[in-house]
Amino acid sequence: MLRLPHHQVLKSVASLKPSHQKAGVTPSRSPDGTKVEELNKATAAMMVPFDSIKFSGNYGNMTEVSYQVAKRAAKKGAKYYHITRQWQERGNNLTVSADLYK
């Protein structure tokens, strides 16, 4: 499978939607205000991750999970992330893994 650099993928995907609304990309902000965007599965499949993260915690909703992923992704220098897996263990603790992209 051919994988395109993220700037080519996002440019071609963005051309299908109005400029303020990129397909497959959901904006998030890290605590310091850095913009980190969540990619959907189809967009992430066309890109090559440079790193990944895995962490656990007790989170009330998906907005909080996305915030926690964006915070950790920004610390590693990522501009985009894709949550690859989530699973519950030991009561309410949720473990999340995500791929990171520049």
Beta bridge partners of 36: 28
**Position 93, amino acid:** N
Q: What is the pLDDT of residue 10?
A: 47
Q: Write the pLDDT tens digit of every residue in 20-69.
A: 345 566 666 656 677 899 999 999 999 999 999 999 999 989 999 999 99
* DSSP string computed for 7-20: HHHHHHHHTTS-TT
Whole-structure pTM value: 0.71
Percent of the chain whose pLDDT exceeds 70: 69
Domains in the chain, CATH or no CATH each: 24-101 (3.30.1660.10)
